[in-house]
Each structure stands twice: as structure tokens, then as C-alpha cells.
Structure 1
Amino acid sequence: MSRSVETRSIPSPVTADDVDLAVRLAVATLRNAPAEGWGGKAGSLEWDCWETAEHLANDLLYYAVQLGPQSPPLDTHVPFALDRERPAAPPVFVHAERAAGPDGLTQVLEACGALLVAMVRTTSPRVRAHHAAGVADPEGFAALGMQETLVHMHDLAEGLGLAWAPPSVLCSRVLARLFPEAPDGADPWLTLLWATGRAELPGRPRLTTWRSDSTPRT
């Protein structure tokens, strides 16, 4: 997978098209996953690969529905009920049918991504909605969806033995929008992995805690 080169010195807004590209790349990559690998651990996570992909789909849908109400709540999320299939699994409010297999799971991921793309594309930039990382605008939710897609695909790629190197331009935009204090000058993908506690940077150890900032920049 080719990667374009872009620094974060002149950040560009995160768009619906960026989310669409990230999800399409993720789905195309996951379609090459070995069928027997989905029960294995996803990278450094305690979740297996199926649970991680299902969690990613839920994240994308979660961000989409926060923008759905005419007056989104600002102090809490839209109250979809969450559950877990096992105590250590991620909480989700939508499950993929296990009988549909990995192809069905990737369809669920693709569909949830499409809903976020549509909501970001059609929601007024003046709208604000709740998120734990800060009350966000549609661009903020787009950036959060991008972060989840790019980084959890790293986890999935490690667990499934796949190659995953997203375009630098996408990584740069996520960093500029969600991690404005992250160091500049290094490879944007490596910096995003560092900012989310998954890698070291030269002179900077791997983070044990981290937090994105989804509040609007203007």
C-alpha cells in the first residue's frame, strides 16, 4: 500500500471523504485476513480480532448517532444500551452475526462507516454533540472515527498477520485535529501510534496513558 508524504505544519480539516477512504482501506485489508485468525488476540489488546473489529464498527456507528438528534445532548451520549459477550470483551450496542462469518463482520464495519460518512457530510458544522474526549463538531467525530479506524486496524493487522500502513495524509489530519500537542517532524503514522500508546518515538517512550481532544479548534 503506497503512502503519501505530508507533514503537520499546514494541517487540513478532516472530511467525510477521509473517513470514507480510511474505512474502504480497512475493509479491503480485512478481506485478506485468514479465516482462522479472528479468534486470536488483536495486537496488544486483550480483545480478540473479531471483538476488535466489532468494537470498531460500533465506534463508527456511535459517532454517527451522536450527530443524529435535532438537538444532540451535550452532557452525555445518546443512550443506546451497551452489553458484552464476555466480561473482558469491549462493550457494544450492535453485534455482527457470528454465522455470517468474517465477510459479514466486514460488511457491518463497512455499513457503520458509511453511516458516519453520511452524517459528517450532511450535518451542519455548527452542530455540537457529546463525547468523552470533549464536546465535538462533525469534523471532530470524523477525526475520532479516523483515529479508531487507523489505530484499531494496526491492532487487527498485528493479530491477523496483515500489512497495514495508512496514508500519511490521513494520519497527519488526525494528529492535527485530535493530538495538537504531539511532536512534529517524525513519520505521521508512527507519531499517531505513539500518541495512542502503541509505539515509541525517538527520545520518547511508549505512553501508558493517553487522551485525544475532540473539541473544535475554532
Structure 2
Amino acid sequence: MPSSGADVRLAVALSVKVLTGVPADRWSAPAGTLEWTCRETLEHLADDLLTYALRFGLAQPMAVPRVPLRITRDRPDGPGNVVFGDAAAGPEGLLTVVEACGGLLALAVDAAAPGTLAPHVFGASDPEGFAAMGVVETLVHTHDIAEGLGLEWEGPQDLSGRALARLFPDVAVVEAPWPSLLWATGRIDQPGRPRRTEWRWYGTPR
């Protein structure tokens, strides 16, 4: 079964569920092994979801390399985003932003013709590929944030498996799809597989 807008919505809903209710003073902790804080990582996730969706808003997505929005940073080592949550709304407000951006991506990939291609730094991809990218970004960054906040969380095996099959044809499933996705994105090591220091996905339709 291919990745779809429903997968994006489910991944985002699970992310919002586990991260809801965490006090605002805990969000400045580092997100897992990243150099960003938990809040910055959540803003980065919202940014990814929105900018993926915007590619399919163009009549000819491949006509430009990216939608030329202004990118800014809150601090020199923070993520470069076009999306920032209103600090006054707290973490719950930012989770609302993530949900809205995920919903836009879900609508965009489901509405686009299956053969439509849009640009990405790892190569042009189709709506299914961008849906899988949205799932990977959501699941993996939720893992990072949950780790930073001291929360127990595990990505669904079915979503992980579909995203792996679509974007990581070079990665064999070891143990189960979810830990294999974490290994594929450089988060953990696995038996016989040391942690990756460099990685990429392959969005080009096959």
C-alpha cells in the first residue's frame, strides 16, 4: 500500500497526542541528539510539512526549484524556517500549527495527479513520495522531541514500513520497520549495523 495523505494525518495526529500537555518550560531541552531545542525541532517539522505542500500549489511544480519564501532563524544555530509559532500561544499553539501544516500536505498529495513531480533536494518526487517524506519527518522528529522531553514513544510499524519501502530501498528491515527507520535516519545502531553518520532518502519514483 502506498503512502498517502491519510498516513500524513495519522502520523501528525499521533505526534500531537504524545506531545500535548508538556509544560512550556521543558521545551528548551535539546531534541535527542540534535543541536536544536524541542521547540525548534517542532517548528522545523511544521516548516517541512508546509513547504512540501506548497510545491503542489503550483500549476507546474518543476518550473522552480523551490517556492521562494524568506527563510529566517531565531538564533544562528537554529533551523532556518519560513514557519514560526507564536510564542504567546505556547507549545499547544505550535502543535496546532503542526496539525494545520500536516493537514495541508495531506490535502495536497491526495489532490495532485499521481504522476505529478515536484522538486526536492534529494531529487524530484511524486505525491506518494512527498507523503512518505512527511511521514518520515513527523515520526523521526517526534522521536527526537520525545527523547528530549523524557517521553516514551514509538512510531507505528505500518507507517514506518510504507515510508521505508518508498524512500529507503537500500535499507533492509531488521527486527521491525520502526527501529529500521530510526537506523536509516541515523538515530540508532542495530545489531551488525553501526549508526549511520550520513544518510539520505530516494524520492524519485521507481
Under TM normalisation by the shorter chain, which class is it? Answer: over 0.9
The alignment partner of 2:61 has SS state of coil
Aligned partner of 1:20 among 9, 12, 28: 9
Alignment of 1:52-131 (within 5 A): 52-73=41-62, 76-131=65-120
How far the C-alpha of 1:183 sits from its partner, in A, is 1.5
Residue matched to 1:215? 204
What whole-Å deviation, never above 9, does each CA across 1:189-218 have from its counterpart, x for those lacking one?
Answer: 11000000001111010000000111112x
Residue matched to 2:169? 180
How far the C-alpha of 1:186 sits from its partner, in A, is 2.3
**CA RMSD, 1 decimal:** 1.1
The structure where helix makes up a greater share of residues is 2
Aligned partner of 2:186 among 194, 197, 205: 197
TM-score, length-scaled by structure 1? 0.92
What whole-Å deviation, never above 9, does each CA across 1:47-72 have from its counterpart, x for those lacking one?
Answer: 00110000000000010001110011
What whole-Å deviation, never above 9, does each CA across 1:56-90 have from its counterpart, x for those lacking one?
Answer: 00000010001110011356111111111111000
**Distance in 1 between residues matched to 2:123 and 2:63, nearest whole Å:** 9
Q: Does 1:48 align with 2:45?
A: no
What whole-Å deviation, never above 9, does each CA across 1:7-54 have from its counterpart, x for those lacking one?
Answer: xxxxx2101111110000001111032332101100000000110000
The code of the aligned residue for 1:115 comes to L
**Distance in 1 between residues matched to 2:21 and 2:105, nearest whole Å:** 24
Flag the structure with more relative contact order, 1 or 2, with Cα contacts below 8 A and sequence separation at least 6.
1
Q: Contact (CA 8 Å) 2:21, 2:92: kept in 1 or not? A: no
How far the C-alpha of 1:184 sits from its partner, in A, is 2.7
**Distance in 2 between residues matched to 1:108 and 1:213, nearest whole Å:** 28
Q: Contact (CA 8 Å) 1:14, 1:143: kept in 2 or not? A: yes
Q: Contact (CA 8 Å) 1:49, 1:156: kept in 2 or not? A: yes
The number of equivalent residue pairs is 206
Segments of 5+ residues of structure 1 without an aligned counterpart are: 1-11
The alignment partner of 1:207 has SS state of coil
Alignment of 1:144-183 (within 5 A): 144-183=133-172
TM-score, length-scaled by structure 2? 0.97
Displaced runs of 4+ in structure 1, greater than 4 A? none
